A and B are shown apart, each in its own frame.
Chain A
Amino acid sequence: MKKVHSIIGVILLSLLLAGCAGTQSRNTDPETDPWEGYNRKVFAFNQGLDKVVRPVAVGYDRIMPDPAQRGVGNFFRNLDSPVTYVNQVLQGKFRQSVSTIGRFLVNSTIGILGFFDVATEMGIPFYNEDLGQTLATWGYEDSRYLMFPFFGPSTFRDGTGSVIDTFYSPVGQVFHGSNRWGLWIVRGIDTRARYLDQDAELNSAYDPYVLMRDVWWQNRQYQIYDGDPPMMDYDLYLEDDLETVEPVSTGGE
């Protein structure tokens, strides 16, 4: 249960940082990101932290052969299965939840503790659910964007959900055991290594903070809607210049 203290510590740290965030005046998306000033500070903190984390991730990426790296990814993904299962049930996706149990059983045994994703080869589909997604499907659709130190982009809803997820999941307890820091660190490094390819793009962006927010936010909507979000309203993008510029695709006789 020491985990609780560390999480509370992180939240307190966030609040402290929030306290000194008053001077930031940028407001690129007041609707989804009203805490932008604070979030930008945490983003800068995480970027600073990355100066240490990135070289480790690069080393890990070099040392680990691709199949081994895939195995580590599979292992952590398999540990998430119970969380997915519970949230599938909470969302009434019973048929899918059966498939998640099947995956977990197959991969934990034949797949040797989850290192091999045998279930996918057997054609058992993979789903990903968590409490944040459940809350969203229950009607808590809009939540403020919130950047966490160490953990990165989230929302108030999803951050709260993630914390609760680690408690009720029996496998989450693995992370609460005596070797928990080792596991958290390995998972962190493994996750970081997956995003190495995107570094150049983030660094060369006009506004890296906004790029990260956009990519995370859109992908999160995609997860919440299980890969089928409503099509966005592109007309909104044109509305502003309709008065001055001719629409493109008229003239069709």
Chain B
Amino acid sequence: MKLRILLVLAVASIFSSGLLAQTQADDPVSLVENITGRIYADVTENLEEYTANPEALEELVRRDLMPLLDVKYSARLILGRAGRDVGEEKIDEFSDCMTNLLINRYSKALLYFSSEIKLNVLPQRGDLNEKLTRVRTRVTLPGGGEAPVDYAFHKTPEGWKAFDVVVEGISYVTTYRNQIMPEVQANGIDSVIERLNSGQMQLAD
């Protein structure tokens, strides 16, 4: 088990040019602090480059953020009973296009908030259990004000991974689920995947 975490860390750190080596602690709060902190720092530093080349930013987000997420679990939660009988491959396919969507949106938000991004990770509170916990953060917005952004984490064999983002109480999983489940039931999963891939689907933050 330990070995596996080390292995994952080792592989990940190669991809992130050694930066991930800082991530010694693998509790959810440290994970969020380290990884988002690093992404924000990178964006602030190379803002001009990323504005000119948004794909490079998407690449950065994919490389640094993805190891923190359990996108397949999110996909299952979103599909719910609509995910029945569609087969493993379809769920993977669906999870992939949700991931692309998420990366795209996250990157755009990073550019939009640009230099004024400030992240404040609140300390862990008592309500965590061994399998499920919530990390609460505050993002400082341009022009004052803070947006509360929470991450729901669960424990996987590869360590803690986030599977839901909650902005001002609005859950990504719940909100997408209530849109996508009925759509899959009405039109079938292939049609939904096609729609997602063609970029028609834009909802919630």
Within 8 A of A (CB), among B179-205: 179-180, 182-183, 200-204
Q: Is B123 an interface residue (CB 8 A)?
A: no
Contact (Cβ within 8 A) B179 A251: no
Q: Is the interface of B mostly helix, strand, loop or mixed?
A: mixed
The interface residues of chain B lying within 8 Å CB-to-CB of A253 are 1, 157
Contact (Cβ within 8 A) B85 A249: no
- How many chain B residues touch the partner (CB < 8 A)? 44
Rounded to whole angstroms, the CA-CA distance of A238 and B156 in the bound complex is 16
The interface residues of chain B lying within 8 Å CB-to-CB of A241 are 76, 79-81, 83-84
Residue interface mask A183-199, B partner, CB < 8 A = 1: 00000000000000000
Q: Which of A200, A223, A237 contacts B173 (CB 8 A)?
A: A237
Q: Is B164 an interface residue (CB 8 A)?
A: yes
Q: Is B72 an interface residue (CB 8 A)?
A: yes
Q: Is B67 an interface residue (CB 8 A)?
A: no
Within 8 A of A (CB), among B56-79: 70, 72-73, 76-77, 79
Q: Is A219 an interface residue (CB 8 A)?
A: yes
The interface residues of chain A lying within 8 Å CB-to-CB of B157 are 249, 251-253
Rounded to whole angstroms, the CA-CA distance of A218 and B156 in the bound complex is 27
The distance from the CB of B95 to the nearest CB of chain A, in whole angstroms, is 10
Q: Is B132 an interface residue (CB 8 A)?
A: yes
Contact (Cβ within 8 A) B175 A211: yes
Rounded to whole angstroms, the CA-CA distance of A93 and B195 in the bound complex is 48
Contact (Cβ within 8 A) B84 A204: no
Contact (Cβ within 8 A) A231 B152: yes
Rounded to whole angstroms, the CA-CA distance of A238 and B134 in the bound complex is 19
Rounded to whole angstroms, the CA-CA distance of A63 and B79 in the bound complex is 43
Within 8 A of B (CB), among A57-110: 66, 70
Contact (Cβ within 8 A) A221 B169: yes
Within 8 A of B (CB), among A217-253: 218-223, 227, 229, 231-232, 234, 237-238, 240-241, 244-245, 248-249, 251-253
Interface pairs A-B: 4 shortest CB-CB: A222-B169, A240-B81, A252-B157, A206-B183
